[in-house]
Chain A
Amino acid sequence: GAVVSQHPSRVICKSGTSVKIECRSLDFQATTMFWYRQFPKQSLMLMATSNEGSKATYEQGVEKDKFLINHASLTLSTLTVTSAHPEDSSFYICSAKALAKNIQYFGAGTRLSVL
């Protein structure tokens, strides 16, 4: 149980394009989903927290117009990197948490490379 699917696992795009990453909880309802970013040799850094049906809460320093998050249902959240630039190249990973369950379950991550 508690499987989180993240798609795509890897994406290469040209500078200026937008990229959408999907995060799905397959066997539970995720009242809260989280988006993280990880640079090489650094820890996972929380970008934003989203609750189903409401606007995402972004961490300090994360541009909400750059990283659009939608959590339209209890099983799906999407992160769209708008007008991607090479500095946005990174590893993005999502997690999901069920109500009253004190564990985040993680997807496998997406490696974004912007040329």
Chain B
Amino acid sequence: DQQVKQNSPSLSVQEGRISILNCDYTNSMFDYFLWYKKYPAEGPTFLISISSIKDKNEDGRFTVFLNKSAKHLSLHIVPSQPGDSAVYFCAASAGQTGANNLFFGTGTRLTVIP
């Protein structure tokens, strides 16, 4: 039972354009969401998070949007750079457990074309 879904396994974007990575979830109790980036042969690296009390969180080129009614979140990267090419995972937790008990999506491979 996949509670966090990333339905696009891959995405290609031109350098300088916006990358939009999407994530859907089914558990309405999820209240904390994180995005991780993973390069080959490395562990996932934390990018940005958002609590369910917000609908947007921004950190430099990265912005996460949360639509609770649609159970949907997205990660926007603008402008996209070749170094952003990686696999991006979204993760969620419930019950105000913060970054404990994370449920992960299957990842989206982003390729930024120079």
Contacts from A to B (Cβ < 8 Å): 4, 6, 9, 32, 34, 41-46, 49, 93, 95, 97, 101-109
B43 touches A102 (CB 8 A): no
Residues of chain A contacted by B42 (CB below 8 angstroms) = 108
Residues of chain A contacted by B4 (CB below 8 angstroms) = 43
| Candidates B49, B101, B105; contact of A102 at CB < 8 Å | B49
Count of residues in B whose CB is under 8 Å from the partner chain: 23
Residues of chain B contacted by A43 (CB below 8 angstroms) = 2, 4, 89, 103-107
| Candidates A41, A103, A106; contact of B43 at CB < 8 Å | A106
Report the bound CA distance from A42 to B11 in whole Å.
18
CB pairs A–B below 8 angstroms (20 shown): A6-B43, A41-B106, A42-B106, A43-B106, A44-B89, A46-B102, A49-B100, A97-B99, A101-B99, A102-B99, A103-B46, A103-B49, A104-B34, A104-B46, A104-B99, A105-B46, A106-B43, A106-B44, A108-B43, A109-B43
